[in-house]
Structure 1
Amino acid sequence: MSQIADNISNIRQEITKTCMKLGKKTEEVHLIAVTKTIEPERINEAIACGITDIGENKVQEVINKYDLVSPVNWHMIGHLQTNKVKYIIDKVKLIHSLDRISLAEEIQKRAERINRSIDVLIQVNIGQEETKSGIEPESVHNFIEALQTFSHIRVKGLMTVAPYEEDPEKVRIYFKAMREIFEKIRAKKLSGIEMKYLSMGMTNDYKVAIEEGANMIRIGTAIFGSRIYR
């Protein structure tokens, strides 16, 4: 077994253990392998080990790797510039980082041109950090209601990047807050809005995120090791 295969196996075991404690089915938690800076060869190795979904932070990396990677579901998980939507609109299964109306308008325009509906998650800046993108927690409801008029955008849930803490217990409060927002929106039963995915939790805190309701987790370092930035 390779290191990547070992790592994926270990993560799946941890997901299973966490789900068993909660009385949840393991398959309810969707694992996205974050492939920022990772070479196509290593991504393909992860896919051969059963990874079906990969997440990229930058549009350029999607473009560069798209034809070199085995068939897989692509997720745009990083901040998305409006002028780069056109490059990934026909490539990604899910955009995790919708956080402003101008971006929604561009997604709508590009989606209309290819006659396709685009699935998105609303990114919430739950820690209200100046360095992070996302809608402020108190603005999420109004933002989602405004998106009901976009015929080619399908809202499928929420995403957040919690503040980093060495001790994952310290971010539990943020995951709890996200779950509360998620459930309140779900209870409204808004037309065209589906609260299906709650995307939160990364290498350091994914177990706590699952305990607090995450059903989509984004893991890079625990699969591929520490990144080497060039």
Structure 2
Amino acid sequence: MRDVERRIVEACERSGRSPGGVNVLAVTKYVSAAAAANAVAHGVRHIGENRWPDSEEKWRLLHGQAVFHFIGSLQTRKVKDVVGRFDYIHSLDRLPLAEEIQKRAEALDLTVSCFIQVNVSGESSKHGLAPEELPGFAAALRGMDRIRPVGLMTMAPLAAVPEDARPVFRRLRQWRDELNESGAFREPIRELSMGMSGDFEVAVEEGATWVRLGSVLIGKEEDI
């Protein structure tokens, strides 16, 4: 954790940012509940999982000690498993999903904080809205009072050189700023969920407020 914090601080220094504006999300989907608990005991406060069946044991063990984020592609029929358990959803990417989240949140009388997933790179293998779909999607969300859009999320293409991800991260930040300038949402969105173990320093330099770190932070099961 300390090495990750140091690298974030250095990236912030290079870009004139405050390290306090960067949150670390530990991706624990590949490790056991015991390993996740150990990470929490060593200072991890935010946990990212992508399937309820795989995360149920961790949630029951650590609920109240850690903040849970759903970071995987979310099927509409799985919304009932996620809403009410996960504090954030990082993968809101289509209207039927938004409608189902709204319906479930109404039933539970709560509001769900969501990141809108954007396919900035345009890769067919990635989920997310095309950037040009964002204004219309934001307009649709205005009528859903149980969904609180907090920011945008994207995944950069896998690359051997982290610097290659910079244009993707920069463009997501620009889209956030453009949407805010146009008043697209009921209230401005602040967050950018972008950057993983191989490229998080570049993401921080480009404005990431959440970085999703697995191997560089949690390591392998046998290392914990």
Pairwise TM-score range, normalised by the shorter structure = over 0.9
Partner residue in 1 for 2:198: 204
Contact 2:179 2:185 in 1 (8 A): no
Please list the CA deviations of residues 56-109 of structure 1 after superposition, one character each: whole Å capped at 9, or x if unmatched. Answer: 122222323211236210000110011111112111111000000000010000
Counting only pairs closer than 5 Å after superposition, residues 1-230 of structure 1 correspond to structure 2 as: 8-69=1-62, 71-226=65-220
> TM-score, normalized by length of structure 1?
0.92
Contact 1:162 1:171 in 2 (8 A): yes
Alignment length, in residue pairs? Answer: 221
Match of 2:119, SS?
Answer: coil
Contact 1:74 1:93 in 2 (8 A): yes
Please list the CA deviations of residues 179-218 of structure 1 after superposition, one character each: whole Å capped at 9, or x if unmatched. Answer: 1101101112345243111000000000001111111100
CA distance in 1, matches of 2:178, 2:100: 28
% same residue: 37
What amino acid sits opposite 1:31 in the alignment? V
Contact 1:119 1:153 in 2 (8 A): yes
CA distance in 2, matches of 1:40, 1:194: 36
* Residues 226 and 136 (structure 1), Cα distance of their counterparts in 2 relative to 1, 3 Å cut: farther
Contact 1:97 1:120 in 2 (8 A): yes
Q: Which segment drifts farther, 200-209 or 69-78?
A: 69-78
CA distance in 2, matches of 1:16, 1:187: 29
Segments of 4+ moved more than 6 angstroms:
none
Contact 2:52 2:82 in 1 (8 A): yes
Could you tell me how far 1:136 is from its partner in structure 2? 0.7
Please list the CA deviations of residues 103-137 of structure 1 after superposition, one character each: whole Å capped at 9, or x if unmatched. Answer: 00100000000100111010001111111110011
- C-alpha root-mean-square deviation of aligned residues, in Å? 1.4
CA distance in 2, matches of 1:226, 1:165: 21
CA distance in 1, matches of 2:210, 2:146: 23
> TM-score, normalized by length of structure 2?
0.94
Contact 1:197 1:216 in 2 (8 A): yes
What amino acid sits opposite 1:173 in the alignment? P
Structure 2 residues not aligned, in runs of 5+: none
Match of 2:14, SS?
Answer: helix
CA distance in 2, matches of 1:176, 1:54: 25
Could you tell me how far 1:227 is from its partner in structure 2? 7.1
Could you tell me how far 1:17 is from its partner in structure 2? 1.1
